[in-house]
Amino acid sequence: MTQHTPLAIPPAALAELRVTDDAGSVPAPFTDDEGGAPLRCCLRPSIPGETVALVTYAPLRRWAARTGARPGAYDEQGPVFVHPGECGGPGERRGGGYPFARPGALRTLRRYDARGHIDGGRLLEVTADADGGIDAALDEAFADPGVALVHVRAVEFGCFQFEVRRPGPPAAHRP
């Protein structure tokens, strides 16, 4: 199995989202009294009392703008939690592994080709061996040479969790 690299929201995108999100709304920061909000800027849960913002993010749209892909109807946006100001980013996560991978959590791994079109996907229930299960699902996705990237999302709310890209240059799309 391959250890894949989960990618947080890039700093340039975060800077834009903190002013106006991808739905055109101005973020409204709030205090997360309970903690546990999955922060996509630093790939960790918030701590009780931390200030966060819930914003709309369109990860495929931003990837397509950089790569020239044309996702068309597959361009979707959804809710993500971020720090309302600059943070240290993901850095080295304690214990390594995949973020937000608690046993029992349901995730969908949505595969995209170089055009930005959905190229399959799968439902994954995170097991006690969270890293092994996610590695296996990502290995399965990237076994298809047409898959350029995978978005991992929470099933319950559809929230974008993180992105994993194929190492090296993007694969050519299939006709």
Q: Give me the residue label for tokens 């040479």.
A: 145
Instruction: Give the model confidence (pLDDT) of 3-36 as tens digits.
Output: 789 999 999 999 999 999 999 999 999 999 999 9
Q: Which residue has the higher pLDDT, 2 or 43?
A: 43
Q: Supply the DSSP symbol for 19.
A: T
Evaluate if residue 170 carries a pLDDT over 70.
Answer: no
How confident is the model over 131-138, as a mean pLDDT?
93
Evaluate if residue 145 carries a pLDDT over 90.
Answer: yes
How confident is the model over 88-96, as a mean pLDDT?
68
How confident is the model over 44-52, as a mean pLDDT?
96
Upper half-sphere CA count for residue 13 (Cβ side, 13 Å): 21
Q: How far apart are CA 77 and CA 87, in angstroms?
A: 23
44-50 long-range contacts (CB < 8 A, ≥24 apart) are 44/90, 44/93, 44/99, 45/100, 46/81, 50/83
How confident is the model over 146-173, as a mean pLDDT?
82
How confident is the model over 157-175, as a mean pLDDT?
71
Q: How far apart are CA 9 and CA 90, in angstroms?
A: 10
Per cent of the chain over pLDDT 70 is: 91
How confident is the model over 140-145, as a mean pLDDT?
95
Evaluate if residue 53 carries a pLDDT over 50.
Answer: yes
| Banded model confidence at residue 162, pLDDT cuts 50, 70, 90 | very high
Give pLDDT, residue 157. Answer: 84
Dihedral angle of Cα 173, 141, 110, 98, to the nearest 10 degrees? -130
Backbone angles phi, psi at 160, to 5 degrees: -65, 130
Give pLDDT, residue 92. Answer: 61
